[in-house]
A = this chain, B = another copy of it.
């Protein structure tokens, strides 16, 4: 682990909590991903331990044993069940995990666990790798008369991270909710937030989003999809979107923050496919960096997204405060190029793609692609 910086975060609930997780779809899964999935099978957990610097990925059986030892160590210190500890790691792939250092770190720091607000910030700081700022958000809301607290921290950044492109988010809540519903809520919130940001198209071996919700708010337990669940969902979605946006904002190489909106798609999957293909396109990203109103690159990306669509119906708008139409029904419109170029100097841009096919939509966020991206990713050496 690196010296002189925080690289260990522990999140502990006062009592066993409902727990849920969303994990990387990469077939190459880091050891912490494997063990956390296993420990989540009963929908219950009480602690999360995250380390940064080494991914514990491609480390074989030794790596699996190391991840287990991380869980066992924290469980022992806290006097809780080993299977109630979730484990996470981010950092270099394919180097031996420094398990002895991590064990010592847990043993030495477990007594510093704190309920103070600053503890959350320190945890957010500890999971950073090359992030330039810590990402945290907090909200509270009422559920049936009880005040519920929901907090989250995240790491990951626009598209800049050397070999640690990992996206991680850890959420803590005191609502009382069935684990199955918590899982469903987290999966859907992730689909609309963390999965809708354009990192660099690379899915890490270590990506994970975890939530603990321990019921100490004292609300009437959420056991079905009534108004309480909807309210919970709304706040969870919003918090995840905020964290996701802050990840996009942290592209060291990024000079722009772009909101993409795809409307009137035949299905939500189609809308998301179009959004992801456009926001991940290198040609679109470099055009945005160059402030080039080169919308042909956008429409070409729409076309190769694999989504069901009629190219002759696609409308395209680019804007900042207001939108300028650049294509109607798949064909150029004679817009004011000078005005659009001027608008593209803005640090915040919006791109609206109307497929005029169905009634589904998707919203997502991305950054541009600058020299800095190449520098940071090329100059990093193991």
Contact = CB atoms under 8 A, between A and B. Distances in A.
A290 B92 contact: no
A78 to B, nearest CB: 31
A283 B295 CA distance: 25
Contact of A296 (B92, B293, B379): B92
Q: Is the interface of A mostly helix, strand, loop or mixed?
A: loop
A330 B283 contact: no
A58 B380 contact: no
A343 B37 CA distance: 39
Nearest to A161: B283
A337 B381 CA distance: 11
A26 interface: yes
A126 interface: no
Contact of A59 (B282, B287, B332): B332
A50 to B, nearest CB: 19
Given A163-B296, A297-B163, A283 B200 contact: yes
A202 interface: yes
Contact of A57 (B58, B292, B296, B378): B296
A6 interface: no
Interface stretch (A127-135, A208-216, A244-252, A366-374): A366-374
A382 B94 contact: no
Nearest to A162: B294
B377 A300 contact: no
A22 interface: no
A114 interface: no
Interface stretch (A171-179, A222-230, A303-311): A303-311
A5 interface: no
A52 interface: no
Interface residue tally of chain A, by bracket? 35 or more
B202 A300 contact: yes
Nearest to A286: B377
Given A292-B381, A296-B94, A283 B369 contact: no
A370 B374 contact: yes
Nearest to A29: B311
Contacts of A377: 282-283, 286-287, 290
B94 A299 contact: yes
Nearest to A295: B94
Contact of A374 (B59, B302, B311, B373): B373
A345 to B, nearest CB: 12
Nearest to A57: B296
Which 3 pairs between the two chains have the least Cβ-Cβ distance?
Answer: A93-B296, A28-B303, A290-B378
21 contacts: A27-B303, A28-B304, A58-B327, A58-B330, A93-B299, A163-B283, A163-B296, A202-B297, A202-B301, A203-B303, A205-B296, A205-B300, A283-B377, A287-B377, A289-B374, A290-B377, A291-B381, A369-B378, A370-B374, A371-B371, A371-B375
Given A55-B296, A58-B327, A369-B378, 16 more contacts: A28-B330, A58-B330, A60-B312, A94-B295, A94-B326, A159-B282, A163-B283, A202-B282, A202-B301, A205-B296, A286-B377, A286-B378, A287-B378, A289-B374, A337-B382, A371-B374
Interface of A: 25-29, 55, 57-60, 63, 92-96, 159, 162-163, 165, 200-205, 281-283, 286-287, 289-297, 299-304, 309, 311-312, 314, 326-327, 329-332, 337, 341, 369-371, 373-375, 377-382
